[in-house]
Amino acid sequence: MLTDVHLSSGGVLLRQIELGDCTHSYVSWLEDPEVNQYLETRWSEQTLESVQSFVQSQLDSENSVLFAIILADDGRHIGNIKLGPINEHHRHADVSYFIGDKTMWGKGIATKAINLVCRYGFSDMNLHRIEAGAYAKAIGSQRALEKNGFIKEAVFRQQVLTNIGYDDVYRYGLLADELKRI
């Protein structure tokens, strides 16, 4: 889904990802076991070609938009956030994200990026509901969702296999009037 929308708040800028964002750093984030431990990308080898192919598939997609998370002060690409797939009948979509540059963890960036994407989804894309999943062990991800007003609605018991055994997955949901001001 092509869009030239730019979203920004508190030093965090989101713009649609470009093929030029597919760098060796991007590949190295996805190859880092600390970064990828809760990402499904860990199941396949990540290369420049596979990342480019994924980005192109998102640019071609009719029902999802992939944003690059950029630091506004130096223009550095540090992670991605995706809105989609979007269900056009029911007007709901998933949000998923990662901050690949570990030096930028714990600075409120994922919280802001989620807020920007949800605001855009509700106001510009006429979504009624936004959903997300988080492994039970992915505390940072859960906190970032909860700070935005997401409500934990379901537990899928032992749904995913991690390097230390099966883990539960929590499903979160958010309605427009529940989105917090960040």
Ligand X SMILES: CC(C)(COP(=O)(O)OP(=O)(O)OC[C@H]1O[C@@H](n2cnc3c(N)ncnc32)[C@H](O)[C@@H]1OP(=O)(O)O)[C@@H](O)C(=O)NCCC(=O)NCCS
| SS3 (DSSP) at 128 | coil
Q: Which of 110/130 has CB closer to ligand X?
A: 110
Please report where in the chains the tokens 């979160």 appear, as a residue: 172
In the structure encoding, which two tokens stand for residue 161, read together?
A: 């296999």
Nearest-approach distance from CB 42 to ligand X, in angstroms: 10
Give the shortest CB-126-to-ligand X separation in angstroms. 25
| 81 vs 97: CA distance, rounded Å | 4
Which positions lie near ligand X, rule CB under 6 A?
35, 38-39, 97-99, 105-111, 134, 138-141, 143-144, 147
> Which residue, 29 or 120, is less far from ligand X as judged by CB?
29
- Closest approach of Cβ 129 to ligand X, in Å? 18
* Residue whose C-beta lies closest to ligand X: 140
Can you spell out the DSSP letters for 63-112? S-EEEEEEETTT--EEEEEEEEEEETTTTEEEEEEEE--GGGTTSSHHHH
Shortest Cβ distance from residue 145 to ligand X (Å)? 9
